[in-house]
Amino acid sequence: MKSRVEKVFANLPAKPDVVLLANSVDPHIDLSFFYLFDVPSGLFEGSVAVARPDGALDVTSSPLEAESAELAAKHDPHVAVHVVGRGETAQAVQKLIPASATVGLNFRELTHDWYVKLTEMLPNAKFVDASIGLQRARLTKEPAEIERIRAAAKIGSKVATEIPSMLKAGRSELELAAEMEYRMNQLGASGRSFATIVGFGPHSAEPHYQPDKTKLRPGDSIVCDFGAWHRRYACDITRSFHFGPRDPEMKAVHDCVEAAQNAALTALRPGVPGKEVHAAAQAVIDASRWKGRFTHGLGHSLGLAVHDGSGGLAPNVDDPLEVGMVVTVEPGIYLPGKGGVRIEDDVVVTKTGYEFLTTAPRGYLEVPA
């Protein structure tokens, strides 16, 4: 954990005396807390992590997670766990941080309520924004992080290959989503990494659709966008299918999306700005009769969160790709009132280009009705 703390400080333009991360109650949990304190289980609501430039890390824990916290810190001499009861956090913070310290906070995640509390706990402290250092540190993954994402991606890929066997006329979008999530858990996922998207027919043309009781009918296009969560790390995969008799236009749409993804992958390598990879996919779709129907960025960073910071592949991303970044590559074409196609894979940037983490087949698949 020392190396992660040092990485955060190395990415800060100005060095505070400490960086403090404070969790509120779920869902207002700062995932950077778990970047610095690599503990496999527990919510750690109300807990605080105090990181120092020399790599030391102090963590407060309620009695609820004390066993997990102490086990995670047991073999790391740079981490100290302080078990605190209800109402004792303020006193712990005041002991851990000098009264007039410059304190870096994760402004992007800190609740206003916590900020007010900290100004009362440390009235003479100077508070500065440390979120850029946390974000930059998390963008490039350590080998151990990549292996967790790979494990999640293996689960997601296995479920993707099983989806055709789950497709039956009359089954609802919600039922299919539930079966996919159940299967991920059977395969070892800790849960879903985000709310599963299943869209039948016209619903598949809405990228962030929320499934409902709509039932599958012959002739429907299907988009399934989902992810497994494994030891706090996420995968994100999308596969598109057609149920029943072939629709020549949707087959052509799928071929175009697959070609766009391949063009993006050809462009993806270290040093290339994210916007150039997006442009490679965009050019393929813009040259087709579906110009204008690719309505989102090509991809996003992936890690502790399914949208893990601002890095990624989009028209506004000037930052170059770096070895160790994990990103999604997910072009799509959406035809309102009819259907859509999206193909999404997770890749890690390597010295020579990229490596697939998701491995399910990407080709067009018609499932007999």
pLDDT tens for residues 207-237? 999 999 999 999 999 999 999 999 999 999 9
Q: Tell me what the mean pLDDT of segment 85-93 comes to.
A: 93
Final residue in a domain of this structure, among 106, 139, 172 = 139
**Please, which residues have CB within 8 angstroms of residue 38's CB and are 6 or more apart in sequence?**
1, 4, 72
DSSP strand E in 248-356: where?
299-300, 312-313, 326-329, 332-335, 339-342, 345-349, 354-356
**CA–CA distance, 238 with 162 (Å, rounded to integer):** 13
Looking at residue 313, what is its pLDDT? 97
Final residue in a domain of this structure, among 139, 173, 203 = 139
pTM: 0.96
Q: Do 194 and 287 belong to one domain?
A: yes
pLDDT in tens, 118-163: 999 999 999 999 999 999 999 999 999 999 999 999 999 999 999 9
Looking at residue 246, what is its pLDDT? 84
Looking at this protein, which amino acid is placed at residue 141?
Answer: K
- C-alpha angle 57-61-65 in degrees, rounded to nearest 5: 120
Residue 48 CA: distances (Å) to CA of 4, 72, 73? 17, 15, 15
pLDDT in tens, 181-195: 999 999 999 999 999
Looking at residue 76, what is its pLDDT? 93
CA 138 to chain centre: 11
Q: Which burial class, exposed, middle or buried, applies to 68 when counting CB atoms under 10 A from its CB (0-12, 13-18, 19+)?
A: middle
Range of the domain at 268: 143-367
pLDDT in tens, 342-352: 999 999 999 99
Q: Do 107 and 158 belong to one domain?
A: no
**Contact indicator for 143, 180 with CB cutoff of 8 Å:** no
Q: Based on the structure, what is the number of domains in the chain?
A: 2
**Contact indicator for 340, 241 with CB cutoff of 8 Å:** no
Looking at residue 118, what is its pLDDT? 97
**CA–CA distance, 49 with 366 (Å, rounded to integer):** 51
Q: Do 173 and 241 belong to one domain?
A: yes
> H-helix or E-strand containing 125?
none
**Contact indicator for 270, 322 with CB cutoff of 8 Å:** yes
Q: Do 335 and 209 belong to one domain?
A: yes
Whichever domain contains 37, its CATH number is: 3.40.350.10
Three-state DSSP class for residue 41 = coil
* Residue 218 CB neighbour total at 10 angstroms: 11
86 pLDDT exceeds 90?
no
Q: Tell me what the mean pLDDT of segment 161-178 comes to.
A: 98
Whichever domain contains 327, its CATH number is: 3.90.230.10
**CA–CA distance, 57 with 2 (Å, rounded to integer):** 8
Q: Do 81 and 179 belong to one domain?
A: no
**Contact indicator for 321, 299 with CB cutoff of 8 Å:** no
